[in-house]
Amino acid sequence: LQYLVSIEDLSTEEVEALIERAEKFKRNPSLFDLKYPIYTTNLFFENSTRTHSSFEVAEQRMKLNIVSFNPSISAVSKGETLYDTVLTMGAIGTQIAVIRHPENEYYKQLIGENDLGVGIINGGDGSGQHPSQCLLDMMTIKEEFGTFKDLKVAIVGDLTNSRVAKSNMQLLKKLGASLYFSGPKEWFSEEFAEYGQYLEMDELVTEVDVMMMLRVQHERHADDSKFSKQNYHEKFGLSVARGKKLKAGSIIMHPGPINRDVELASDLVECEQSRFVKQMTNGVFVRMAILEAVINGRHLMEAD
Ligand code: CP
């Protein structure tokens, strides 16, 4: 890969290869053999715990050199643009940049004919895409079920604002899963109807193999007064009572961070059916596989 900005850019074969490689890294994290120094940077213009930290762990495990970056003490605070920031990073020898940014498709100015010599890995753009989260979710589902074909997967909650919902529905459909959606009906637009059907939570819980809950993104809602936390939990959340109705063998997923007792009952976060912790663990190995694919795609370990 020259870059990874959208899950839609990957063929099924590329997805399978990345997941297989991540599985190998999980068995043996020392598999990557660094031949020349490689410089990476993590440019996070939006807050993150999981994505930022697990990319950093992945980079450290691969012995890459991390060029530190904090937007609040960088020249961004003086008005420097994203483009000029990446231009600078490329000029000083940084070869890969993981970027999270609030603007949808920020990456278009940095790839293809606009490539600045820096391999861009999208760590999340606005409400657009979150390809590394999507791949770690697929790895977690594959570990559980071995296949995606005819698997019933529900994506529930703040669909409109969720880059995880969009990336995951696109890839899950391509891999042969059947998709269902739930949550406030006004957040289920035409865009989602193309991928699967809407069901109320009480119908959904007895049907699906994977119950993927999404965080209510309070920070992206202009008016958050419509649902109280309790009201949202009762109507749209995976409560303890609904959790008891889940099919045997089904799993609960959440990309994090979780609003406990809003979209997901606090008691279910680490329950037997929850894969929340496993998703975060798998994130490191998927990110190692992505970094390696970009390193190989840009021939960064070949002599000039
Ligand atoms: N899932 C996810 O993107 O979490 P962070 O915002 O903590 O990176």
Give the number of the atom of ligand 1 that is nearest the alpha carbon of residue 52. 8
**Is residue 29 annotated as involved in ligand binding?**
no
Q: Is the CB of 297 under 6 A from ligand 1?
A: no
Per-residue pLDDT, 226: 76
Instruction: Quickly tell me which residue has 């998709």 as its tokens.
Output: 179
Q: Is 221 a catalytic residue?
A: no
Q: Which CATH architecture has domain 131-275?
A: 3-Layer(aba) Sandwich (3.40)
Instruction: For residues 167-171, give the mean pLDDT.
Output: 98
Per-residue pLDDT, 224: 67
One of 100, 142, 166, 233 is an active-site residue; which one?
100
Choose which residue among 42, 44, 133, 253 to substitute to test ligand 1 binding: the one with the highest number of ligand atoms within 8 A of its C-beta. Answer: 133
What is the C-alpha to C-alpha distance for residues 137 and 286, in angstroms, rounded to an integer? Answer: 9
ipTM over 0.95: yes
Tens-place pLDDT, residues 27-40: 999 999 999 999 99
pTM over cut 0.90: yes
Distance in Å, CA 304 to ligand 1 centroid = 37
Instruction: Evaluate whether the domain defined by 7-129+281-297 bears CATH number 3.40.50.1370.
Output: yes
Question: Of 7-11, 215-219, 300-304, which gets the smallest average pLDDT?
Answer: 215-219
Q: In three state form, how does the secondary structure of the chain look?
A: CCCECCHHHCCHHHHHHHHHHHHHHHHCCCCCCCCCCCEEEEEECCCCCHHHHHHHHHHHHCCCEEECCCHHHCHHHHCCCHHHHHHHHHHCCCCEEEEEECCCCHHHHHCHHHCCCCEEEEEEECCCECHHHHHHHHHHHHHHHCCCCCCEEEEECCCCCCHHHHHHHHHHHHCCCEEEEECCHHHCCHHHHCCEEECCHHHHCCCCCEEEECCCCHHHCCCCCCCCHHHHHHHHCECHHHHHCCCCCCEEECCCCCCECCCECHHHCCCCCECHHHHHHHHHHHHHHHHHHHHHHCCCCCCC
Checking if the pLDDT of 216 tops 90, the result is no
* Domain map (residue ranges) of the chain: 7-129+281-297, 131-275
Checking if the pLDDT of 221 tops 90, the result is no
Q: Is 61 a catalytic residue?
A: no
Give the number of the atom of ligand 1 that is nearest the alpha carbon of residue 46. 6
Checking if the pLDDT of 222 tops 80, the result is no
Q: Is 130 a catalytic residue?
A: yes
Q: Is the CB of 217 under 6 A from ligand 1?
A: no
Per-residue pLDDT, 136: 98
**Is residue 109 annotated as involved in ligand binding?**
no
Per-residue pLDDT, 91: 98
Percent of the chain with pLDDT over 90: 94
Give the chain's mean pLDDT. 96
Which residue's CA is minimally distant from atom 3 of ligand 1? 51
- Asked whether this chain's domains 7-129+281-297 and 131-275 adopt the same fold, the reply is yes
Choose which residue among 43, 51, 220 to substitute to test ligand 1 binding: the one with the highest number of ligand atoms within 8 A of its C-beta. Answer: 51
- Band the pLDDT of 61: cuts 50, 70, 90: very high
C-alpha torsion 78→81→82→83, nearest 10: -140
Tens-place pLDDT, residues 62-109: 999 999 999 999 999 999 999 999 999 999 999 999 999 999 999 999
Instruction: For residues 147-153, give the mean pLDDT.
Output: 97
